Structure 1
Amino acid sequence: MKVAFATEDGVLVNAHFGQSPMFTVFEIRHSGVQFLEHRRIALGSDENEAGKIASRIGLIEDCALIFLVQIGASAAAQVTKRTIMPVKVAFGSTIEEQIQRLQNMLARNPPMWLAKILHAEEGSGKAGS
């Protein structure tokens, strides 16, 4: 499954969804982790709030999860509607430790919310190649 992280530096989860300069994306599987890319937000955009949210969602629409520090209610509703689960984590936690926690959940008995995502991906083709 593809997972995005709201980050300012590609190392820490340290950004609000609506203010993050980029999303770092990984493919996470039972067999391992692969860094895919840094998806940067276009600088100097004069979009209104709705456009800003929509363009950010467009950058992560192929992801199942977005790890972030904070997300507004409207953005959270729109992200969830696109079947992307927002996951709030402590400011400054490392992307690496969040990946490790996710892998541990996958290796054991995943919680219901994660099992639903995995099951949905199997049927939708969103899981990646």
Structure 2
Amino acid sequence: MIPAQPHLKAAFSTNSLAWVDADFVRARHLVFYDVTPTRADFLDAPEFRPVASGIGDSRPAAGGCPVGAEPTHLGGSVAARLACLEGCGVLFTTALSDHTALRMTREGTFPVVIERRRAIDDVIARLQVLMTRDPPLWMCRLLRYGRPPQGRTALMSSAHDAF
């Protein structure tokens, strides 16, 4: 049973603002869209600047990242980026460490690593096709397709709904 108009907040790691062309940790931008089967609405594109010490990207310049997303130390870059993903269902990137992928998944965002750069519009179009035709399991979980009725026991629902 597919809801009438499911929504999926999608993020894309990018340097160009038009292509998925960057590693999650080194991307200058994370671009966010609200994707439905028939529309894709741009939400935000926070920019990350390098730290003065040259350690790497860490601070969002502006945009929809929470105030608490400021870096704390060396790991601040990943922490700030993960904080920006709050409420996001899926992230498309060209590279991601296993440790970061696990942290991201625990926080509710499904990471997808794309082997070669692709236009963000093409990735969104593919998402829209998947939303209407044959959604993969991760998408079904995010959109709560096939969710058991509220009266089910916790044991039954935890086996199917857990991330």
What is the TM-score with the length of structure 2 in the denominator?
0.68
Q: Secondary structure of the equivalent of 2:102?
A: helix
- Residues 9-20 of structure 1: matches in 2 within 5 Å? 9-20=16-27
Greater RCO (CA < 8 Å, at least 6 residues apart): 1
Structure 2 stretches lacking a partner, 5+ long: 1-7, 52-57, 59-70, 148-163
Which residue identity is paired with 1:24?
V
What is the Cα-based RMSD across aligned positions, in Å? 1.8
- Find the aligned partners of 1:11 and 1:51 in 2 and give their Cα distance: 26
Q: Secondary structure of the equivalent of 1:19?
A: coil
What is the TM-score with the length of structure 1 in the denominator?
0.85
- Is 1:111 the counterpart of 2:136 in the alignment? yes
- How far off its partner does 1:76 sit? 0.8
Aligned to 1:127: none
Aligned to 1:91: 116
Instruction: Work out whether residues 20 and 92 of structure 2, in 8 Å CA contact, stay in contact via their aligned partners in 1.
Output: yes
Q: Secondary structure of the equivalent of 1:18?
A: coil
When the two structures are aligned, how many residues end up with a matched partner?
Answer: 120
- Find the aligned partners of 1:79 and 1:42 in 2 and give their Cα distance: 21
Q: Secondary structure of the equivalent of 2:25?
A: helix
Instruction: Work out whether residues 37 and 129 of structure 2, in 8 Å CA contact, stay in contact via their aligned partners in 1.
Output: no
Greater per-residue helix proportion: 1
Runs ≥4 residues deviating over 6 A: none
Aligned to 2:157: none
- Find the aligned partners of 2:115 and 2:20 in 1 and give their Cα distance: 8
